[in-house]
Structures are given as structure tokens and as C-alpha cells.
Amino acid sequence: MLNIILLGPPGAGKGTQAKRIEQTHGLVQLSTGDMLRAEVKLQSELGVKAKQIMEAGELVPDALVIDIISNRIDQPDCKNGFILDGFPRNVVQAKALDQMLSDKKAPLSKVVEMVVDDAALTQRIVGRYSCEACGAGYHDEFQKPKQAGICDACGADKFTRRKDDNAETVKQRLAVYHEQTAPILPYYADMNLLEKVDGMQPIDAVTDQILGLLKSA
């Protein structure tokens, strides 16, 4: 069983790499952002609460995301291991995760920090889009579909952009990352779980770095 956290600022490539590791290692990507966006789309009680907070680039209340993750980890497909993408995001969530993984007897194998400059992050986020049908991720410059306007994964021709992927909201998301999420890095360093990868490299090179780290996990 391999249980990994991908940690890094917005646009660092957590989602991109998590999808690749899902395929290479048969692990499940657990993205709190994707889960919350699904609730917003459904207009569920949680989705209604989360919508404005997400569009403002702030964090959704801890109790809500802790609950979602705890329930999701209990699903049978997580038994072989999972990749946490976007959780934990502050010290309260990190401590809640420790407690829940200890209760579920599913220890963490590694925490991978993806290091990317703030300027590159903004460029990545404002150029990002995804397939409306299957969710496959693309970028105007760095990850174009092989055939323009057609999704490589499912052949659909409709794409969408996230509401929080604009320069203004990105500033706030980055500020929240530096104030609230970065302080959990020393927490995992003290537990000897933290490894860094250079997220400024091209996508394939970042994947190679992560796969190298997972060999020793």
C-alpha cells in the first residue's frame, strides 16, 4: 500500500502528476478541489457553501473537507493506496489526517513537495483548461491536445476553464498557500516523510523525479 501526499502551490502540477501516478501505480487520486467542484456543480448543500469561498480563493472550512476525505478513504478503491492532491492545506487538516490515517491503519508513505516559482504558477493557471466530458487537463502553451480542439483522452470537442483560474484570484490563492499551507512542510520534514521535486521542469521530467522517489517508498 502506497499513500502519498502531493503538496505544492496552486498550479504546481499536483493534478497533472496525480493522474499519471494513478496510471503507473494503480493508486486513486483524491483531489479535494475536484470533489468540491463536483458538489458545486450538483448545487448540494456543501456545494452552495463552498462556491463563493472557492471563487474568492479562500479555504473551505476544515471540518467540511476533513469529512469528505475521511469518507472517501473508506471506499474500497482506496485499499491499494491513494494520492492526496490539495489536502491537507493547513496544520489543522494535517493533524486531522494523521489521526484518521492512524485510526484507519493506513500510514503515509511519502509527502512530495513540488517546488515552482510564483511567476510560473500564474502563467500555468491562467492558461489551463480541461475537457468538459472526461476532465482531462490541458494548457494553452504547455499541454496542447494532439489535434487542436479535440480531447486526446475521449475525443470530445468541448472544453472548460475554472472560475478561480484568473490572475486576480490566483494572487489570493498564492497568498493563502504561503500563509497557511507552506507551514505544514516542516511538520512533514520532522516526520522524515518530506521529499522535494523540481516542479519547474517539463511535465515528463517531473513525473520521472516523482517515480524515482516512489521506488524507495
Query: Site for ligand AP5 (CB under 6 A): which residue of 3, 4, 5, 15?
Result: 15
- Going across the sheet that includes 137-139, the strands are 137-139, 128-131, 159-160
Contact between 7 and ligand AP5 per CB under 6 A: no
Contact between 203 and ligand AP5 per CB under 6 A: yes
Q: Least distance in Å: CB of 11 to ligand AP5? A: 4
- Going across the sheet that includes 2-7, the strands are 28-31, 81-85, 2-7, 110-115, 194-198
Query: Site for ligand AP5 (CB under 6 A): which residue of 5, 30, 46, 54?
Result: 54
Query: Site for ligand AP5 (CB under 6 A): which residue of 10, 46, 113, 209?
Result: 10
Query: Site for ligand AP5 (CB under 6 A): which residue of 7, 46, 65, 210?
Result: 65
Contact between 159 and ligand AP5 per CB under 6 A: no
Spatial CB neighbours of 43, under 8 Å, sequence gap ≥ 6: none
Active-site residue flag, 72: no
Query: Site for ligand AP5 (CB under 6 A): which residue of 7, 14, 20, 30?
Result: 14
Find cell 493563502 and name the residue: 176
Catalytic residue (choose from 51, 89, 110, 124): 89
Contact between 68 and ligand AP5 per CB under 6 A: no
Between the CA atoms of 97, 23, 181 and 50, what dihedral angle is there, to the nearest 10 degrees? -80
Site string for ligand AP5, 135-154 (x = CB under 6 A): --x-x--xx-----------
Distances in Å between the Cα of 17 and the Cα atoms of 59, 64, 89 are 22, 25, 18
Buried-exposed string 151-190: b where 16+ CB fall within 10 A, e elsewhere: beeeeeeebeeeebbeeebbeebbebbeebbeebbebbee
Q: Is 2 exposed, middle or buried (0-12, 13-18, 19+ CB in 10 A)?
A: middle
Distance CA 34, CA 18 (A): 12
C-alpha cell at 163: 472560475
Active-site residue flag, 89: yes
Contact between 110 and ligand AP5 per CB under 6 A: no
Of residues 86 and 112, the one with the C-beta less far from ligand AP5: 86
Active-site residue flag, 161: no
Of residues 4 and 125, the one with the C-beta less far from ligand AP5: 125
The residues that are catalytic are 14, 89, 128, 162, 173
Contacts with ligand AP5, residue ranges (CB under 6 A) = 8, 10-16, 32-33, 36, 53-54, 57-60, 65, 86-87, 89, 93, 124-125, 128, 137, 139, 142-143, 173, 199, 201-203, 206
